[in-house]
Amino acid sequence: AQTVTQSQPEMSVQEAETVTLSCTYDTSESDYYLFWYKQPPSRQMILVIRQEAYKQQNATENRFSVNFQKAAKSFSLKISDSQLGDAAMYFCAYRTSYKLIFGTGTRLQVFP
């Protein structure tokens, strides 16, 4: 069975600084998708970034980028120039057969 692990329950970062959130996963499949979702206090799930496993190039969306290491089954999220609005729960997710499997989440605090 596929599993997704986020080893950092909480992280904090100073405004304008950079922070990296870790995620590892376990799967025997070769083709899959990985996602980072943000859940602010409103609890609305917001897609931050996605990565197709067959693509070697790391995905980037503005201040958000990933470090995808397929052999190591690692998928970390880097947030550059952190902003107060980045404070939220961040969930790493693995997609298989249209189902999403979520990690346990990392609570990110951003300090001014």
Partner 1 sequence: GAVVSQHPSRVICKSGTSVKIECRSLDFQATTMFWYRQFPKQSLMLMATSNEGSKATYEQGVEKDKFLINHASLTLSTLTVTSAHPEDSSFYICSAGPSHTMNTEAFFGQGTRLTVV
Binding site for partner 1 (CB under 8 A): 33, 42-45, 47, 50, 52, 91, 95, 98-105
Instruction: Report how far residue 26's alpha carbon sits from residue 65's, in angstroms, rounded to the nearest whole number.
Output: 21
Q: Which is nearer to partner 1, 16 or 47 (CB)?
A: 47
Cβ distance to partner 1 smaller for residue 42 or 112:
42
Give yes or no for a contact between 90 and 11, defined as CB atoms under 8 angstroms apart: no
In the bound complex, what is the minimum distance in angstroms from residue 6's beta carbon to partner 1? 9
Nearer residue to partner 1 within complex by CB, 97 or 112? 97
Nearest-angstrom CA–CA distance, 73 and 24: 6
In whole angstroms, give the CA distance from residue 10 to residue 93. 17
- The Cα–Cα gap between 104 and 92 comes to 8
What is the nearest approach in angstroms of partner 1 to the Cβ of residue 9?
A: 9
Q: How far is the CB of 75 from partner 1 (least distance, A)?
A: 16
Radius of gyration of the chain (CA): 13
Beta carbon nearer to partner 1, 28 or 43 = 43
Cβ 17 to partner 1 shortest distance, Å: 25
Note the helical H segments in 6-108: none
